[in-house]
Amino acid sequence: MNVRNTAYNLSKYVFGSSRDLRVAAGDVILVKMRGTAVYRSFILSIESADGSVFVPFAVDDFRYLGDGRDAVRLASDREELLRIVARPDLGTPDPDMSDAWRNLPNSQAARAASEWVRCGPGTEWHYYAAVIRPAMLKATEPPAGEP
């Protein structure tokens, strides 16, 4: 899945959106991230277009694959990926990042359930992967007053 950057400041943020994405338990999500700022982090949540189902990602869901293009091949084998013990650290966003996340059109449940992940240092691309587990597929609660 590739995402289109819809951020208001393209040099500072990446807000991703994709069309017609279908995810299921066992699917692998690959994230490529870099940032020279000490605080640079990313956060990820997938939500259905109607808001009825979302997939939150916690720090422990991610495996750190390393930097460089060779890391991508690790994400192609689920069994090998699940054996990787390297995890990223919990990240902390700056106030702009927090505001941007809070103001996205995702449901409150989808925004609240994911965790910030700290990006590896330097200008190299760092790769992270997560396998979607059945327990990660969450149904959102209907708004008050609806069945």
Quick one: pLDDT at residue 1?
47
User: Which tens digits make up the pLDDT trace of 18-52?
Assistant: 556 778 898 888 888 877 666 688 888 888 877 78
User: Which tens digits make up the pLDDT trace of 123-140?
Assistant: 788 899 999 989 888 876
User: Which tens digits make up the pLDDT trace of 51-92?
Assistant: 788 899 999 999 998 887 677 777 677 888 888 899 999 998
- What is the reported pTM? 0.79
Q: Residue 68: left (phi > 0), alpha (psi -120 to 50), or beta?
A: left
| Residue 32 bridge partners (DSSP) | 127
Q: Is the pLDDT of residue 105 over 80?
A: no
Cβ atoms of residues 119 and 38 within 8 Å: no
- The DSSP H or E segment spanning 53 is strand 53-56
Amino acid at 13: Y
Rounded to the nearest angstrom, the gap between the alpha carbon of residue 91 and the centroid of all alpha carbons in its chain is 12
Quick one: pLDDT at residue 143?
47
Cβ atoms of residues 117 and 45 within 8 Å: no
Amino acid at 144: A
Residue 134, both tokens: 């059945």
The residues spanned by each domain of the chain are 4-139
Average pLDDT rounded to a whole number, residues 2-30 = 69
| Residue 5 bridge partners (DSSP) | 16
Residue with tokens 């330097």: 122
Instruction: Return the sign of the alpha-carbon dihedral for residues 99, 100, 101, 106.
Output: positive
Quick one: pLDDT at residue 61?
94
Residue with tokens 């999500």: 29
